[in-house]
Structure 1
Amino acid sequence: MNSQPPVYKTPVSVLVLVHTRDLQVLIMERADKAGFWQSVTGSLERLPNGELEQPVDAAIRELKEETGLDAADYKLVDWHCAHVYEIYPHWRFRYAPGVTQNTEHIFGLELPAPVAVQLAPREHVAYEWVDWREAAKRVFSWTNVEALRKLGERNNLTL
């Protein structure tokens, strides 16, 4: 019998806040959890050589996969900030046994104006461009709220 060991997600991920200069933010509704809105997110992947993908590369890849946007067309900014959070119990099966926390690196991508995006249908079912404060009310993750708060601070605003 030739069985492969299970492939688990890496407990290191990225969150990319896609926003406009006037702080309209792209939020997307998850396909696997109705009513759960979020920014672009995704785990780092293992490269063919076995090394772990760099966070900036994961951000570029996830942005393209989830929205169709090419980071090279805009300015992707590493905010040099990361949050550690507890993985929701209903998603822990994706990780190796005993893994309960994830480290999420934050990036920003500024666009001149809202654009239509191409969602990955297996990941998201809808998207909206909303004011950053409205986004903070609607996203489900505290780390996403914190990233939105930081977006406001970067623009001398508060939630």
Structure 2
Amino acid sequence: MPTYKKPVSVLIIVHTVNLQVLLLERADHPGYWQSVTGSQDQDETLLQTAIRELKEETGLDAACYELTDWHIQNQYEIFQEWRWRYAPGITQNMEHVFGLKVPRIIPISIAAREHLRSIWLPWEEAAEKVFSWSNAQAIRMLGSVGNNV
């Protein structure tokens, strides 16, 4: 029996104190830039999901920085090209937004199977570069409230 992804995910905006934002280019869709994101595993809290995804996708240990649950949820339609990962009939995902504040631009280790490269950009540029409306919205929120999220 196939194992399907749970239609619950986290989006983590990794940013510096001066609002430089880390973006990753998807390996399965070159040209699609995004923040750290990933699906919740069974028996995992959302915080555990965020910590795991940060480690898997960037090599960053969330315990060394300031990881915050922004208490924002976005429901969106799963792109047709990725629906095979979910149980038949699942078309919607619930995304939970977190932020990880780091002191400055720091080196990361990307997961080669998931991402091609990374880039740090000022929040305005990052919001324009991401492909997802919810990712852009979260980055713009960061820019509007600064380090208070």
TM-score category, normalised to shorter length: over 0.9
Structure number, greater radius of gyration: 1
Q: Give me the whole-angstrom Cα distance separating, in 1, the residues matched to 2:39 and 2:109.
A: 20
What is residue 155 of structure 1 aligned with on the other side?
146
SS where residue 8 of structure 1 aligns?
A: coil
What is residue 3 of structure 2 aligned with on the other side?
7
TM-score (normalised: structure 2): 0.97
1:124 deviation in Å? Answer: 0.3
Q: Give me the whole-angstrom Cα distance separating, in 2, the residues matched to 1:85 and 1:153.
A: 23
1:88 paired residue among 79, 82, 88: 79
What is residue 49 of structure 2 aligned with on the other side?
58
Q: Give me the whole-angstrom Cα distance separating, in 2, the residues matched to 1:39 and 1:60.
A: 14
Q: Give me the whole-angstrom Cα distance separating, in 1, the residues matched to 2:145 and 2:6.
A: 30
After the TM superposition, list the runs of 4 or more consecutive aligned residues in structure 1 that deviate by more than 4 angstroms.
none
1:142 paired residue among 108, 133, 143: 133
1:43 deviation in Å? Answer: 0.2
Q: Give me the whole-angstrom Cα distance separating, in 2, the residues matched to 1:6 and 1:154.
A: 43
1:153 deviation in Å? Answer: 2.2
TM-score (normalised: structure 1): 0.91
CA deviations on 1:25-70 (whole Å, 9 max, x unpaired) are 0000000001000000000001xxxx3x111110000000000000
- Find out whether 1:28 has 2:24 as its counterpart: yes
SS where residue 45 of structure 1 aligns?
A: coil
RMSD: 0.9
Structure 2: runs of 5+ lacking an equivalent: none
SS where residue 63 of structure 1 aligns?
A: helix
Q: Give me the whole-angstrom Cα distance separating, in 2, the residues matched to 1:115 and 1:19.
A: 10
SS where residue 155 of structure 1 aligns?
A: helix
Q: Give me the whole-angstrom Cα distance separating, in 1, the residues matched to 2:37 and 2:11.
A: 4
Q: List aligned pairs for 1:86-125, cutoff 5 A.
A: 86-125=77-116
CA deviations on 1:87-106 (whole Å, 9 max, x unpaired) are 00000000000000000000
**What percent identity do the matched residue pairs reach?**
58
